[in-house]
Structure 1
């Protein structure tokens, strides 16, 4: 593949190829949503050139506005753009399958031994995640934070996210950045070179958006009149997937509130899955598969795991498919480009904040950790090593004994 090929001129990859690409990411993408976005950028913007930098940033901005797992939604959007409906399904399945299967295996095994990865391996993966997120911040900032005003928006967004935690704060920061962009960054309209393929018709998009709201209102009504366990489970997981902003770190405590006090899942069993979810790659929303397996009544086991997994991700399918056919036209308007300029700068700021908390604070404890992270960052940014090689060497360096 030519490194100079434009993303919109590349041939559409088959669904199986998209599946294999995302499967590798699903097996290696440790570190949470911020790290996932870094892995995606490295894979699809820098390496494969499936998307231009600006288009990728606009997709990230779109998904930041949506409830649910933002990194999985970005992956869905990339799969949909490059491979249609089959590509979207392949992207989701590839990225989700490894962690879902691992967590279902943990649920079917002795749960008190769910921490199946050694501490050194997990710690090494967290250190590499620092370098991955730092690489994403570095690369996106160079493109999206040019000029003093965008740099200021980025820094203020990072400062706000550092000082006050919570998904509502992130939404407020993004909204304010959009307003600031509209007021301060207006200028000539940018001629975007890459046009998103219209793989979804506007009629289908409207239908998906309407179906999202119909299910959000209708499933609780059905569950109120029909006590079937499967419907109650779908109600809980679809509602959580529809209303959670802030990604996986927010969905875990919310699921605990929904399931433990009501007796759906034992507290100790839930905490075992909570710990296992932190140790596996891929999206944290796959904890739903674990919880579906350990439910006390049918549907449980593998059937329950699949049901809860599909229910929590269904809103993301509907929202991404519903918004994408309108997104290309929206982002080409001069006013919206100014809004997105502010939003994209704020997104970089939020990633910068995530680089410190929780990515840095959960991984860098001493000079050795810092040295490994810096070496990994240099290997990624300046030496252009593939991310899988950096992951393997980072884990190896963290696992070996050091003299200090």
Structure 2
């Protein structure tokens, strides 16, 4: 498959599944399709009866979970399901719901928001993962885990890995784990990443890990386990806190071997020791992505220095095929000089159609003058979005952008 085919498929997925730098939008609606396959409908109904399921009760569960008024006659035609698992009192209801989901042959998209607390019985975690065995038919899966200190997250992660390892139809996976404590327990991601290698149809992947101790120890493993994911076109990686060692970051990007087909990439780092050397590592990796068209970079609370701005500028010279760029910096310590270097680097992106800049640092007018002199050089630019740290910056920028045909300005 050539590069243009990869790009077309990536863009088609974006149009059909709501995939952008933020990846999948959440399934919140029910779509009912008519079917003339009476035999299949009877089979689905029998499956409901086998589980002793009352469709009227299940429709009430769906109404409470998704705020949708669902006619129970149409339950077996459900295509999208979103569940918020957060109350210990409803454990049996959750299991009941998953048993019903096993009978939904139309079901393609599933979103789970799981607030794991110490009050959830241990056996529930095991039952929950066993009940998602129906995932062989799911093409879009979104799992958000919110956990508390002392929650047995490692056991859940290992069981979840086994549960999805046979999901050969899975095309899009969003997996987010956020700890309510700070840097609780280290996670071993080996089994989880190995399971991803088995998902040969996976084309869109989002992984977010927030507030875990010593996560940087996993960087080399993290990168090396991506080698077997052959069809990945959309990748989002967010780490909070970020790797504390530049070598850890370098090892991860050296091992990442998904560059041949990747069309969209989103990277986020926060509260780490990523300096200008780390930016050089990232930009070097980006230069190896021949099909890359959409890029989002978010770096917060990392001391880049003005050299970080130079590293961005140098890297942009090799990214001339980019069509969409989202660029977010906060507490970067680049200073006005570093930001000016970044804005000068935008001038190399001659095919850019959409630009989003979120500057959460307090900057003077020199930076905005540099930016407004750069943007008119981008002849294909159709949409420009900016977010400003303070209103005064917005006013200064508006006065200087009168020559730009389309500018959408919003305030943080």
Q: TM-score range by the shorter chain?
A: under 0.3
Higher relative contact order (CA 8 A, sep 6+): 1
Query: TM-score normalized by structure 1?
Result: 0.22
Q: Which has the larger radius of gyration?
A: 2
Query: TM-score normalized by structure 2?
Result: 0.21
